[in-house]
Amino acid sequence: MKLTKRDDEILEFIKVVSVADTTTLNEIFFNGSTRACQRRMKLLTDAKLVKRLERKYLNQEYIYYISRMPKQLEHKLLLSKLIGKMHNVGAEIIKVKSSLCIGNIIADGFVVYKLDNRVRMALVEVERSKEFDKDKYIEIVNAREFKDMFPVRPLIIVLSDNKPVDMDIFKVINIKTDFSNINNIF
């Protein structure tokens, strides 16, 4: 099987975010053509370039990964879905990291994107069961390591169905896990 440029981009994306579902890959790489996405991902799976989690139900989507299934599957899947939804609303994704360690903080993700001719960077926190821990960000904001890593203060995107988070020292963008308010990134 001869790999295309798009295949290489898909493989690189899955390596970076750890896992991705069919809908996310479709939004980013196939311009809404679900069948084309499914066919190509089947070829990549058959060629053993990607692995997929088998579905429990027929109408469930496949989840693709490359090396091993991550322990925090839901967190990683929500991060990759966020990237897909951001792409869908017109954001140009410049850089993505699956997790980022800054001092004693491990953010679930880091994304640099361009939207409305402005480049923005954001730390992503996925909160499924507990409240967002503001204190850890307040403690680190003045640390040398933080200032060396970020020339400007990044946004914080909180993916959660809990109460919206508000902070004085960071601009926080609250997005629900069903992405019904994805336009908050504007």
69: which 2 tokens? 């299934």
Q: What is the pLDDT of residues 66-122, one digit of tens each?
A: 988 888 899 999 999 999 999 999 999 999 999 899 888 899 999 999 999 999 999
Region of residue 117 (phi > 0: left; psi between -120 and 50: alpha; otherwise: beta): left
Non-local CB neighbours of 44 within 8 Å, separated by 6+ positions: 7, 10, 11, 50, 64
How confident is the prediction for the chain on average, in pLDDT? 92
The pairing of beta strand 172-175 with beta strand 155-160: parallel
What is the CATH class of 73-185? alpha beta
Fold that domain 5-65 belongs to in CATH: Arc Repressor Mutant, subunit A (1.10.10)
The predicted model gives 147-175 an average pLDDT of 91
Q: What local confidence, expressed as pLDDT, does residue 60 receive? A: 85
Give the residue extent of every domain in the chain: 5-65, 73-185
Query: Where do the H-state alpha helices sit in the chain?
Result: 5-17, 22-29, 34-46, 73-88, 134-140, 144-149
Element (DSSP H or E) covering residue 127 = strand 118-127
User: pLDDT: is 57 or 17 the higher one?
Assistant: 17
Residue 132's pLDDT band (cuts 50, 70, 90):
confident
- Give 95-101's long-range contacts (Cβ < 8 A, gap of 24+): 96/13, 96/16, 96/17, 97/16, 98/16, 98/17, 98/18
Q: Say what percent of the chain tops pLDDT 70.
A: 100
User: pLDDT: is 182 or 186 the higher one?
Assistant: 182
pTM: 0.91
